[in-house]
Structure 1
């Protein structure tokens, strides 16, 4: 059985990731400053990820009642979006915490790290239009906030960790806006004003599909650093994707014929390399 440490396992995406991994036979330790929900099925360690010593203890399996050495780390813990707290506070939490996880994993001899990057590095909010649609991993990062700048720096940091150790696998998942089924009741309201969600090209990620992407990243045979856009296969809108692109971003090149509700956050790379395939849609809940 593979032992996996999941930082932020008590959060919105983290809860889904822990549940999915446990259901697929992984032995999971949730490393989080916040308590998990009852009956999570994983060990919990209250760790301050901005304290390197605590992170080393947690990932080196030296804590009392440790399950043993970890085979992989999934790093999800962070202040999850811009604007929640001050810019400097966001940076001072997120970037050092990620460094601590990367460095402590290296010190512990863990060679598989999957972490939450962000769709924001694609240029969100798209007040400046994207270079093309669907957006993908091929153009340079365009951070427009301190939060996004931190995520961009984390991707650069991972590249250097992999240069130092060619045996490392470090996969950054550029997650879209994370949603749970109870969030879907609000989706029909977006149709009245396309501008409400143009900031991320009307994208989202069901937490359960985000968890699938994490598990696929743990199982794929890769070395080095790779980043993937992770979104659901459809948009949050009832209108066609082609009509939305034409109305809101009339001067932007559309590089493929878009399906009726096809996501404009390109997930082709994740499909091709990870075998990722979204299984959930808000439309399934809206039709009930």
Structure 2
């Protein structure tokens, strides 16, 4: 496919860019930062004119696109004032979605976030493992935007029944070099309670993007994308009982299995995490 990738210079974006190109796709990285040369175009996603023009094609590189992968955003709460986060992320996503539609692009995969599940879980989740079935519980401006993006996608696919939009609710993205500090989490179960001790290896995040591009049908779906395990060596059920004693465990959780349910992504996308922080390195 000819793929327009926003945010391909970011932490997850770099891995997604490499994986998609390794699979033979023609990918252009649209970002504010990046290395000059073929395959990179500097863009301000808050400027609709730039986005709609870019998605129509890039001179001497590609004549139009088959799909959009949208990762470009202020990537977490607290990195900018709330109003800056809202204005940048909300407007960028609207521009990307609408520019894709204006250019006849029918396949969009984008980064939603685990934060819509209620992070940092200062208020108990309704049950554990958490999944996509309960209503969004945004607790920050960043998370509010992610929720509004999902609602926007619901309406856009209603307007255009041929359109496919997939929201990937990524957990905390980690690269292999990040795993050395996981030992620091082990002594205190509360240090990583904020996302139920979850994470996602960037390489598995890229796998999820690829699977969504390959398999997502028309319409809108949201998926939690996390590793198969937690950041802890202690059993997950033991952690949940200690830190969230009043929350119902809805099923048997074996060993260090993730408490961010990835069953839906496994079933509908064929997503299958291949990497763990505890793998021999």
Q: TM-score, normalised by structure 2?
A: 0.98
Mapped to 2, the partners of 1:123 and 1:66 lie a distance apart of 42
1:144 aligns with 2:139: yes
Write the mapping of 1:1-288 to structure 2, written as runs, cut at 5 A. Answer: 2-36=1-35, 43-61=39-57, 63-284=58-279, 287-288=280-281
Mapped to 2, the partners of 1:101 and 1:167 lie a distance apart of 17
Q: How big is each residue's C-alpha offset from its partner over 1:153-177, in whole Å with a ceiling of 9 and x where there is no partner?
A: 0000001110110000000000000
Shift of residue 221, structure 1, vs aligned partner: 4.2
5+ residue gaps, structure 1: none
Paired residues, number: 281
Shift of residue 222, structure 1, vs aligned partner: 1.0
Mapped to 2, the partners of 1:172 and 1:236 lie a distance apart of 24
RMSD: 1.1
1:4 aligned counterpart, secondary structure: strand
Maintained 8 Å contact 1:136/1:267: yes
Mapped to 2, the partners of 1:237 and 1:68 lie a distance apart of 47
1:282 aligned counterpart, secondary structure: coil
Maintained 8 Å contact 1:180/1:206: yes
Maintained 8 Å contact 2:216/2:269: no
Maintained 8 Å contact 2:157/2:219: yes
1:53 aligned counterpart, secondary structure: helix
Mapped to 1, the partners of 2:216 and 2:184 lie a distance apart of 42
Find runs of 4+ consecutive structure 1 residues off by over 3 angstroms: none
Shift of residue 259, structure 1, vs aligned partner: 1.2
